[in-house]
Amino acid sequence: MKEVLLGALHNDILAYVLMALVPLAWVVPFALFAVWWERKISAHMQDRLGPMRTGGWHGWAQTVADILKLIQKEDIIPAAADRKLFILAPYLVFAGSYAAYAAIPFSAAFVGSELNIGLFYIVSISALVVVGLLMAGWASNNKWSLFGAMRSAAQIISYEIPVALCLLAAVMVTGTFDMQQINQMQEGGIFHWLVFQKFPFLFLAMIMYFIGSLAEVNRTPFDIPEAESELVAGYHTEYGGMRFALLFLSEYANMFVVAAIASTLFLGGWTSPFGDFLSGPWWGVFWFLSKGMLIVFVQMWLRWTLPRLRVDQLMEVGWKVLIPFSFVVVLGVGFWVMAVR
């Protein structure tokens, strides 16, 4: 794709910008779909129907209508808010989650950038989201938003540790950070997937990574930063209209990023579970997206089932439960890999 665009446009910068916008073709429709999907899932779990009218069949156009509504809203910035930071924050949050799409392989042929430190890059760039959240909470000049932002910062950096350790366990087995190579190593059917290797360590690693990733994206049971019933809407209380839409969009983009990492590292990414049957560049996209959506579905399912943890209990789970277990997993995998070699 790079060559095609460079050849056609004869202008490096424009080509690179267009390439950077390619994942938007997935992110925006996905966010629109995911919001609708979440409303439908929550509705059916709660014995009701959810959106039914907009667009005809089960209200599929509901999110489109919502986005159109949000775009044309008045842009209100609180008078006492820190203007520059207030405006900048949603863009930082979005940039943090969007930049990770550069290194995620959608298929054997579709990957933004085949970095040999792909995983490391993704984990680091996602940390930009914390800065954005803190900025949003601080700039709102609202005590409740500040609370939400503080809690969020504490939560995200605490849970980075077990998340990174579990990813490290997987990397120890593959020996590389390159996302595309990790995917290629899992070719050959479901039992080649990393989640079933070095059993039970990588299986545990996957579960702990999933729990940690819920904390990374501020989803229940770790949604204290935006705990609706306590802090109104936490760090995004004062945001309205398009700014709010951007924060919301980045939340769903982030959800898919962590789901994509989980599916790439542990569930085989774009490889088919049947080995060679139903594989190929376009089938790869299908498998990758379905695995990602499956994990997103589990995230939504958990959100509507479980209550939320209080902030000190959340810290306790992160530091006193997940970190020791991730150490055990890393040690286990480490010894196993050394013993085999």
Choose which of 13, 47, 277, 341 interacts with another protein (CB under 8 A): 47
Note whether 230 binds another protein by CB under 8 A. Answer: yes
* Part in contact with another protein (CB under 8 A); list of ranges 24-32, 77-85, 106-114, 299-307: 299-307
List 82's β-bridge partners, or say none: none
Cβ of 58: how many Cβ atoms within 10 Å?
16
Q: Which amino acid is at 283?
A: W
Q: Pick out residues in 307-336 that bind another protein (CB under 8 A).
A: 307-313
CA distances from 161 to 35, 134, 236, 260, 279 (A): 29, 19, 26, 19, 35
Q: Are 144 and 238 in contact (CB under 8 A)?
A: no
Site string (92-131) toward another protein, x via CB under 8 A:
----------------------------------------
| Closest CB 28 distance from another protein, rounded Å | 27
Q: Please identify, among the stretches 15-23, 163-171, 278-286, 304-312, the one whose residues bind another protein according to the rule CB under 8 A.
A: 304-312
Q: Under rule CB under 8 A, which residues in 136-155 are in contact with another protein?
A: 143-144, 147
Q: What is the DSSP string of 174-219?
A: H----HHHHHHHT-SSGGGSGGGTTTTHHHHHHHHHHHHHHHHTT-
Q: Report which of 337, 230, 259 is spatially closest to residue 26, judged by C-alpha positions.
A: 259
Considering only residues 257 to 296 of the shown chain, the ones binding another protein according to CB under 8 A are none
CB atoms within 10 A of CB 286: 15
CB burial string 13-24: b at 16+ within 10 A, e below: eebeeebeebbe
Tokens of 153: 């910062």
For residue 6, the tally of other CB atoms under 10 A from its CB is 15
Residue from 221, 225, 284, 318 binding another protein (CB under 8 A): 221
Nearer to another protein, 218 or 271 (CB): 218
| Tally of CB atoms within 10 A around 168 | 17
Using CB under 8 A, which of the segments 38-46, 61-69, 73-81, 202-210 binds another protein?
A: 38-46
Query: Does the footprint of another protein cover residue 42 (CB under 8 A)?
Result: yes
Fill in the per-residue mask, 171 to 210: x = in contact with another protein (CB under 8 A), - = not in contact. ----------------------------------------
Q: Which is nearer to another protein, 7 or 307 (CB)?
A: 307
Q: Which position among 297, 304, 319, 336 is part of the footprint of another protein (CB under 8 A)?
A: 304
Specify the residue, 116 or 313, whose C-beta has the smaller distance to another protein: 313
Residues that bind another protein (CB under 8 A): 42, 45-48, 143-144, 147, 220-221, 223-224, 227-230, 232, 304-313
